[in-house]
Amino acid sequence: DQQVKQNSPSLSVQEGRISILNCDYTNSMFDYFLWYKKYPAEGPTFLISISSIKDKNEDGRFTVFLNKSAKHLSLHIVPSQPGDSAVYFCAASARAGANNLFFGTGTRLTVIP
């Protein structure tokens, strides 16, 4: 039962353009959402998060948008850089504080120089 879904397994974007990665969830109890970036043979690296009380959070080139009514969130990277090429995982949890994360299956982003 996949409660967090990333329906695009891969995405290719030209350097300098915007990358948009999408994520959908089914569990209405989720109230905290995170994006992680993962390189091969390494652990996921935390990128950015958003609480359900917000609809947008921005950190440098990374912005996460949350649409609670649609149970959808997206990560925007602008401008995209070749070093952004990695697998991006969306994750969600049901309570603030320490709690286990539910991960999507990931989207492999390739930024073409």
Partner 1 sequence: NAGVMQNPRHLVRRRGQEARLRCSPMKGHSHVYWYRQLPEEGLKFMVYLQKENIIDESGMPKERFSAEFPKEGPSILRIQQVVRGDSAAYFCASSSGLFNEQFFGPGTRLTVL
Contact 92, 5 (CB under 8 A): no
99 is an interface residue for partner 1 by CB under 8 A: yes
Does residue 49 belong to the site contacting partner 1 (CB under 8 A)? yes
CA 37 – CA 87 distance, rounded (Å):
6
Which of 13, 21, 25, 34 lies at the binding interface for partner 1 (CB under 8 A)? 34
SS3 108: strand
Rounded to 10 degrees, the C-alpha dihedral 78/3/50/85 comes to: -30
- Which residue, 49 or 74, has its beta carbon nearer to partner 1? 49
Rounded to a whole number of angstroms, the minimum distance from the CB of residue 78 to partner 1 is 23
- How many residues form the binding site for partner 1 (CB under 8 A)? 26
65 C-beta neighbours (distance < 10 Å), count = 17
Binding-residue pattern over the window 2 to 31 for partner 1, x denoting contact by CB under 8 A: --x-x-------------------------
Residue 46 engages partner 1 in binding (rule: CB under 8 A) = yes
Which of these, 8, 83, 7, lies nearest to 47 by C-alpha position? 83
Distance CA 99, CA 34 (A): 13
88 forms part of the interface with partner 1 (CB under 8 A): no
Residues that bind partner 1 (CB under 8 A): 4, 6, 32, 34, 36, 41-46, 49, 89, 91, 93, 96-106
